[in-house]
Amino acid sequence: MNDIAPELASPERAALIQRLVKAAEHRITAESALITLSKDVRWLWDRARFALQPLRVSEDRRSLDVRV
């Protein structure tokens, strides 16, 4: 009592589905690792993000201001 159409139950299709599931699991694991950064890594990321913010010249043209 197989409800799957014979053309959808091929070994090639099953292998493709397994590869797609493994790729999705890998992506979820990688995203979880990025979300759960340690405090040290989070501190470094905040400093790098601050350093990458664009600067602008102040109104009196004597200093640089960080755009927020």
Whole-angstrom Cα distance, residue 67 to residue 51?
Answer: 11
Task: Express as a percent the part of the chain with pLDDT over 70.
Answer: 57
Q: pLDDT digits over 30-52, tens only? A: 666 666 667 777 788 777 776 66
The structure's pTM equals 0.33
Q: What is the separation, in whole angstroms, between the first and last Cα of the chain?
A: 63
Structure tokens at 7: 């053309």
Whole-angstrom Cα distance, residue 53 to residue 63?
Answer: 16
Q: In the predicted model, is pLDDT for residue 1 greater than 50?
A: no
Whole-angstrom Cα distance, residue 26 to residue 19?
Answer: 11
